[in-house]
Amino acid sequence: MEEQVNLQEFKDNLSKMSNEKLCEVIVSHRYLGILKDQAVLSMEELSARRVNGDQFHYEKHIDELFSTLPKINIDLNSIMKKMNMDDLKKQFK
């Protein structure tokens, strides 16, 4: 329920947010997999602004923001071994 309230609050404030802030929401979703609904709304808002004459190059800004983040390399097998997940998987076979 709290997430819905936060999503509604996000929707209510969407038009007040800067282009840069909307891009940050999108990058957060792409990088961490969070704020999916907010990211979709942000992209829709940026697109609507473009249709209405805003010249902000949000695609370039998103790419630039994303490129500054460190690459995440996750080796799930290594993590599972460290967590002793192999033994746990055997129990469910």
pTM above 0.85, yes or no: no
Spatial separation of the C-alpha atoms in residues 73 and 5, rounded to whole Å: 34
- Rounded to a whole number of angstroms, the CA Rg of the chain reads 19
Sequence letter at residue 30: R
Model pLDDT for residues 35-71, shown as the tens digit of each residue = 999 999 999 999 999 999 999 999 999 999 999 999 8
Model pLDDT for residues 17-40, shown as the tens digit of each residue = 999 999 999 999 999 888 999 999
